[in-house]
Amino acid sequence: MHRRSFDRTAGDPYDVSRRQILAMGALPVFSLIASTFTEASNAECDFPVRDGIPRLDYHVHIGDGITVEQAVRVAGERGTKFGLLQHAGTKGHGYAVSDDAELSDWLRSLDGLPVFKGIEGEGVDWMSAFSKKAIATLDYVQADPFAVPDKSGAPMQIWRPEFRPADVQEFMDRYVDYHLLLITTHPIDILAVPTVLPDVLRPDYERLWTGQRIRTIVDALLKFSVALEIDSRFRVPSFRFLEVAKSAGVKFAFGSNYQNAVRLGDISYGIEMFKRLRLSSNQMFCPAAPGRKPIERR
């Protein structure tokens, strides 16, 4: 979730209603750690389970002082399987991965390691930097809603402590729409850091995330088979939001999202919610098999 520069052309990308977005359907987007535990693992993919709880962290960014070697070592120490990520998007923005060749190099650097291999798509146009075939070689793709644009198309930088929306309800409607845009038109497996609010609005989280707003996002997640991250850094979504998602049948993914070695792999909030919700391993996200990835089935 480390923020980068972000350029957008002018124009409001939200001239489409929630109903239209959800009605889009499947559309083209663009033309172990080896477990030391003997307890049963998920039947569909390889991840460790201890005390009935999957030990998974899909949100581990490489860079900014965190190396692949360090991440693999920490995963081994924690008995957790990591999903390793690079920020990915179009050239000129400083992303680590910006074309098929760089994506191939990223995957090659992880060959033979007991990790899931992923990217975090940045901006609304990241898909244009890569071929469909290249994206299909990844284990998973995630995206987060931090770069929600304003009416001009510029990101509002909601992660900055000083950010203040001029109209809170208008911001929330726009923010919900941006969640929907990512879920319905991007070939993602995981919606990362979902529902996190700007600092000034966090005390009002429960009031602003109304039942209707929660249901709108949950319905889209279910329809487009996108997993919901339980993010330990920002402790989102709330238990109430997660209860609705569980009842609907949405899959979940643990994400630490810390960019320092001390908290690397810390999925404590995910484990807390897993227990409170009484989830099971088969309710957790597992990367799709070849031919069934979002980029291939949409």
CA distance 259 to 62: 8
pLDDT in tens, 116-138: 999 999 999 999 999 999 999 99
> How large is the angle between the packed helices 211-223 and 168-185, nearest 10 degrees?
10
CA distance 106 to 271: 29
Predicted local distance difference test score (pLDDT) of residue 118: 98
CA distance 231 to 23: 28
CA distance 175 to 143: 14
CB atoms within 10 A of CB 11: 11
Confidence of residue 28 (pLDDT cuts 50, 70, 90): very low
DSSP character at residue 17: -
CA distance 64 to 70: 12
Predicted local distance difference test score (pLDDT) of residue 90: 97
- Going 8 to 11 to 17 to 23, the CA torsion angle's sign is negative
183-198 mean pLDDT: 98
Is the model more confident about 262 or about 234? 234
Q: How far is CA 266 from CA 198, 254, 263, 269, 273, in A?
A: 22, 10, 5, 8, 14
146-152 mean pLDDT: 92
pTM, two decimals, is: 0.87
Contact by Cβ (8 Å): 249, 284? no
Predicted local distance difference test score (pLDDT) of residue 45: 79
Predicted local distance difference test score (pLDDT) of residue 259: 81
CA distance 187 to 294: 5
272-280 mean pLDDT: 98
Q: What average pLDDT does the structure give for the chain?
A: 88
Domains of the chain listed by start with CATH number: 18-297 (3.20.20.140)
Confidence of residue 44 (pLDDT cuts 50, 70, 90): low
